[in-house]
Amino acid sequence: MFYYLKGTVAHMAPYLAVVDCGGVGYACRTTHNTLARLKVGESAKLYTHLYVREEIFELYGFATEEEKNCFLELIGVSGVGPKAALSILSSTSPEGLAMSIITGDEKALTVAPGIGKKIAQRIILELKDKLAKGQMTAGGEPYGGNGVTIIPENKSTEAAAALAVLGYSTQEVSVALKGIDVENLKLEDVIKQALKKMVK
């Protein structure tokens, strides 16, 4: 329904930002990381998702499309609701979440308030499984379509899989990784350099 909101930040509270767009204040549930980028009285652009379940009708907003994509993947995991997803994304960056999933680092997820070992394991298992089956949505299409199975085996494929978690398509990932010294850089640095190329 809404792709993004652009207006003036009218109010901020924990997990909440109100953006005034033409005299209408939109209350967006959000993360600590997004709130840290906002300031009351200044202009802001939030990428949004309208969450509708039975009697729940809430708008969620994020400073980057990567954070929004991670939120959507998280709430797609069984047993993970918007509150848990915001908690995770308030405790780590989208790149950090992608790294945790690809490397199976459940401890990085349990740092988030309310996230126990079992739910962390489920997140890693389900999202890794989606990647392996080519079902991870990226840029509106499945990552690794045409029946291609993506199983991280080396740093290059791990980086590609992590970027898929952030919502990038196979083609975008391939172009972004070109020219990066994958073998000699840390995985996190490879991902950061690829992201810099994609946002230019």
- pLDDT (tens digit per residue) in 3-17: 999 999 999 999 999
Angle at the Cα of 109 (from 165 to 180), degrees rounded to 5? 40
Global pTM value: 0.78
Predicted local confidence at residue 145, as pLDDT: 43
Cα–Cα distances (Å) from 160 to 114, 174, 176, 191, in that order, read 30, 8, 9, 8
Per-residue pLDDT band at 187 (split at 50, 70, 90): confident
- Compute the CA torsion angle 117, 122, 100, 69 (nearest 10 deg): -130
Residues 6 or more apart whose CB falls under 8 angstroms from that of 108 comprise: 92, 96, 99, 100
Q: Residue 90's pLDDT is what?
A: 97
Gap between the Cα atoms of 104 and 109, Å rounded = 10
For 15-63, what is each residue's pLDDT tens digit?
999 999 999 999 999 999 999 999 999 999 999 999 998 888 899 999 9
More confident residue, 187 or 72: 72
